[in-house]
Amino acid sequence: MASKRAREQAPRHVNATKQTLPSDIIIKRTKRHLEELEVTAHIHRSNYTEPSITFDDNDEGAISGKNRVRQIVSDKRHLNDPNAKKKKSSMKVRTALLYRKNLATLIEESRIASLPCHVPTYLTAAAPPPQLPPRLLCSVCGYKGTYKCKKCAMPYCDINCQGVHAETRCERRVI
Protein backbone atom coordinates (compact mmCIF):
# COMPACT_ATOMS: atom_id res chain seq x y z
CA MET A 1 0.00 0.00 0.00
CA ALA A 2 1.53 3.29 -1.00
CA SER A 3 2.27 5.61 1.84
CA LYS A 4 -0.06 8.47 2.45
CA ARG A 5 2.53 10.97 1.41
CA ALA A 6 3.08 9.25 -1.90
CA ARG A 7 -0.64 9.21 -2.50
CA GLU A 8 -0.91 12.89 -1.79
CA GLN A 9 1.96 13.85 -3.91
CA ALA A 10 1.23 11.73 -6.92
CA PRO A 11 -0.93 13.76 -9.30
CA ARG A 12 -4.42 12.52 -9.75
CA HIS A 13 -4.70 10.07 -12.56
CA VAL A 14 -7.66 11.79 -14.06
CA ASN A 15 -5.89 15.10 -14.28
CA ALA A 16 -2.71 13.67 -15.68
CA THR A 17 -3.92 13.51 -19.27
CA LYS A 18 -6.45 16.31 -19.10
CA GLN A 19 -5.56 19.37 -21.05
CA THR A 20 -8.04 21.76 -22.48
CA LEU A 21 -8.31 21.89 -26.20
CA PRO A 22 -5.90 24.59 -27.34
CA SER A 23 -7.85 27.79 -27.55
CA ASP A 24 -6.67 28.67 -31.01
CA ILE A 25 -8.39 25.59 -32.37
CA ILE A 26 -11.59 26.73 -30.77
CA ILE A 27 -11.11 30.23 -32.12
CA LYS A 28 -10.48 28.92 -35.62
CA ARG A 29 -13.49 26.71 -35.45
CA THR A 30 -15.71 29.56 -34.32
CA LYS A 31 -14.34 31.81 -37.02
CA ARG A 32 -14.99 29.20 -39.69
CA HIS A 33 -18.51 28.75 -38.42
CA LEU A 34 -19.17 32.49 -38.48
CA GLU A 35 -17.87 32.78 -42.02
CA GLU A 36 -20.16 30.02 -43.12
CA LEU A 37 -23.04 31.93 -41.62
CA GLU A 38 -22.22 34.86 -43.88
CA VAL A 39 -22.48 32.86 -47.06
CA THR A 40 -25.43 33.56 -49.27
CA ALA A 41 -24.95 30.91 -51.89
CA HIS A 42 -23.58 27.52 -51.09
CA ILE A 43 -21.13 27.03 -53.85
CA HIS A 44 -19.48 23.67 -54.04
CA ARG A 45 -15.76 24.09 -53.67
CA SER A 46 -14.96 21.83 -56.53
CA ASN A 47 -16.44 23.90 -59.26
CA TYR A 48 -16.07 27.42 -57.98
CA THR A 49 -16.43 29.49 -61.07
CA GLU A 50 -18.52 32.42 -62.09
CA PRO A 51 -21.99 31.02 -62.27
CA SER A 52 -22.96 30.95 -65.88
CA ILE A 53 -26.52 32.02 -66.23
CA THR A 54 -27.93 30.83 -69.46
CA PHE A 55 -31.39 30.61 -70.76
CA ASP A 56 -30.92 27.30 -72.42
CA ASP A 57 -28.67 24.53 -71.44
CA ASN A 58 -25.69 25.04 -73.67
CA ASP A 59 -23.10 27.44 -72.49
CA GLU A 60 -22.68 30.49 -74.58
CA GLY A 61 -19.19 31.79 -74.40
CA ALA A 62 -15.96 29.93 -74.44
CA ILE A 63 -14.92 28.36 -71.23
CA SER A 64 -11.66 26.67 -70.70
CA GLY A 65 -10.90 26.08 -67.09
CA LYS A 66 -9.68 29.19 -65.36
CA ASN A 67 -9.46 31.33 -68.44
CA ARG A 68 -13.09 31.66 -69.07
CA VAL A 69 -14.34 34.73 -70.78
CA ARG A 70 -16.31 36.62 -68.22
CA GLN A 71 -19.88 36.99 -69.22
CA ILE A 72 -21.90 39.99 -68.37
CA VAL A 73 -25.20 38.77 -67.12
CA SER A 74 -26.98 42.05 -67.37
CA ASP A 75 -26.52 42.29 -71.10
CA LYS A 76 -28.18 38.98 -71.65
CA ARG A 77 -31.52 39.95 -70.35
CA HIS A 78 -34.23 40.24 -72.87
CA LEU A 79 -36.28 43.16 -71.78
CA ASN A 80 -39.38 43.57 -73.85
CA ASP A 81 -38.98 47.24 -74.31
CA PRO A 82 -39.41 48.49 -77.85
CA ASN A 83 -37.97 51.88 -76.95
CA ALA A 84 -34.83 50.50 -75.42
CA LYS A 85 -31.87 52.23 -76.90
CA LYS A 86 -28.85 50.10 -77.45
CA LYS A 87 -25.97 52.22 -76.34
CA LYS A 88 -22.48 51.25 -75.42
CA SER A 89 -21.60 51.60 -71.78
CA SER A 90 -18.69 53.78 -70.82
CA MET A 91 -15.28 52.33 -70.11
CA LYS A 92 -15.50 52.70 -66.37
CA VAL A 93 -18.88 51.07 -66.25
CA ARG A 94 -17.74 48.17 -68.36
CA THR A 95 -14.72 47.67 -66.12
CA ALA A 96 -16.93 47.64 -63.08
CA LEU A 97 -19.25 45.14 -64.70
CA LEU A 98 -16.55 42.75 -65.81
CA TYR A 99 -14.25 42.67 -62.85
CA ARG A 100 -16.03 41.78 -59.69
CA LYS A 101 -13.96 42.25 -56.59
CA ASN A 102 -14.84 40.86 -53.25
CA LEU A 103 -15.24 42.99 -50.18
CA ALA A 104 -11.86 42.22 -48.66
CA THR A 105 -10.09 43.45 -51.79
CA LEU A 106 -12.20 46.58 -51.87
CA ILE A 107 -11.45 47.35 -48.25
CA GLU A 108 -7.75 47.02 -48.92
CA GLU A 109 -7.95 49.19 -51.99
CA SER A 110 -9.83 51.89 -50.20
CA ARG A 111 -6.98 52.17 -47.69
CA ILE A 112 -9.29 53.03 -44.85
CA ALA A 113 -7.02 51.15 -42.51
CA SER A 114 -4.35 53.80 -42.95
CA LEU A 115 -6.54 56.76 -42.12
CA PRO A 116 -5.69 58.67 -38.94
CA CYS A 117 -7.27 57.11 -35.90
CA HIS A 118 -9.78 59.83 -35.17
CA VAL A 119 -11.58 59.19 -38.46
CA PRO A 120 -14.38 56.68 -37.98
CA THR A 121 -14.45 53.96 -40.62
CA TYR A 122 -16.06 50.61 -41.28
CA LEU A 123 -13.24 48.97 -39.37
CA THR A 124 -13.55 51.09 -36.26
CA ALA A 125 -17.31 50.97 -36.05
CA ALA A 126 -17.71 47.42 -34.85
CA ALA A 127 -19.64 46.93 -31.63
CA PRO A 128 -17.61 46.57 -28.45
CA PRO A 129 -16.77 43.08 -27.15
CA PRO A 130 -19.21 41.53 -24.70
CA GLN A 131 -19.05 42.29 -21.01
CA LEU A 132 -20.50 39.02 -19.79
CA PRO A 133 -19.12 35.56 -20.47
CA PRO A 134 -21.03 33.58 -23.09
CA ARG A 135 -23.91 31.34 -22.10
CA LEU A 136 -23.20 27.91 -23.42
CA LEU A 137 -26.06 26.18 -25.17
CA CYS A 138 -26.17 22.49 -25.90
CA SER A 139 -24.98 21.95 -29.44
CA VAL A 140 -27.48 19.13 -29.95
CA CYS A 141 -30.79 20.24 -28.54
CA GLY A 142 -30.35 23.87 -27.58
CA TYR A 143 -30.93 23.66 -23.86
CA LYS A 144 -28.38 24.89 -21.32
CA GLY A 145 -25.05 23.33 -22.11
CA THR A 146 -23.64 22.67 -18.71
CA TYR A 147 -21.04 20.10 -19.66
CA LYS A 148 -18.37 20.16 -22.30
CA CYS A 149 -17.25 17.34 -24.52
CA LYS A 150 -13.92 16.00 -23.41
CA LYS A 151 -12.62 15.59 -26.90
CA CYS A 152 -13.76 18.69 -28.71
CA ALA A 153 -15.06 21.09 -26.08
CA MET A 154 -18.54 21.55 -27.52
CA PRO A 155 -21.19 21.99 -24.86
CA TYR A 156 -24.00 19.50 -24.21
CA CYS A 157 -26.72 19.21 -21.64
CA ASP A 158 -27.20 15.58 -20.68
CA ILE A 159 -26.21 12.04 -21.45
CA ASN A 160 -28.51 11.59 -24.41
CA CYS A 161 -27.14 14.66 -26.11
CA GLN A 162 -23.65 13.55 -25.30
CA GLY A 163 -24.30 10.30 -27.11
CA VAL A 164 -25.74 12.04 -30.14
CA HIS A 165 -22.85 14.44 -30.23
CA ALA A 166 -20.24 11.72 -30.00
CA GLU A 167 -21.80 9.84 -32.88
CA THR A 168 -22.43 12.73 -35.20
CA ARG A 169 -20.52 15.93 -34.74
CA CYS A 170 -17.64 15.29 -32.42
CA GLU A 171 -14.36 16.25 -33.96
CA ARG A 172 -12.67 13.53 -32.03
CA ARG A 173 -9.44 15.31 -31.45
CA VAL A 174 -7.70 13.21 -28.93
CA ILE A 175 -5.78 15.55 -26.74
Helix (H, G, I), strand (E, B) or coil at 91: helix
- The distance of closest approach from Cβ of residue 138 to another protein in the complex, given in angstroms and rounded to an integer, is 10
Question: Is the separation of the CB atoms in 165 and 139 below 8 Å?
Answer: yes
- The distance of closest approach from Cβ of residue 159 to another protein in the complex, given in angstroms and rounded to an integer, is 15
Residue 24 in the binding site for another protein (CB under 8 A): no
Q: Residue type for 59, please? A: D
- The distance of closest approach from Cβ of residue 175 to another protein in the complex, given in angstroms and rounded to an integer, is 20
| 8 vs 109 by CB, closer to another protein | 109
Question: Is the separation of the CB atoms in 136 and 145 below 8 Å?
Answer: yes
Task: State how far the Cα of 90 lies from the Cα of 134, in Å rounded to an integer.
Answer: 52
| 10 vs 69 by CB, closer to another protein | 69
Q: Judged by CB under 8 A, which of 63, 107, 153, 166 binds another protein?
A: 107
Q: Which stretch binds another protein (CB under 8 A): 7-15, 36-44, 60-68, 146-154?
A: 36-44
Residue 125 in the binding site for another protein (CB under 8 A): yes
- The distance of closest approach from Cβ of residue 35 to another protein in the complex, given in angstroms and rounded to an integer, is 10
Nearest to 94 by CA among 74, 117, 110, 124: 74
Helix (H, G, I), strand (E, B) or coil at 147: strand
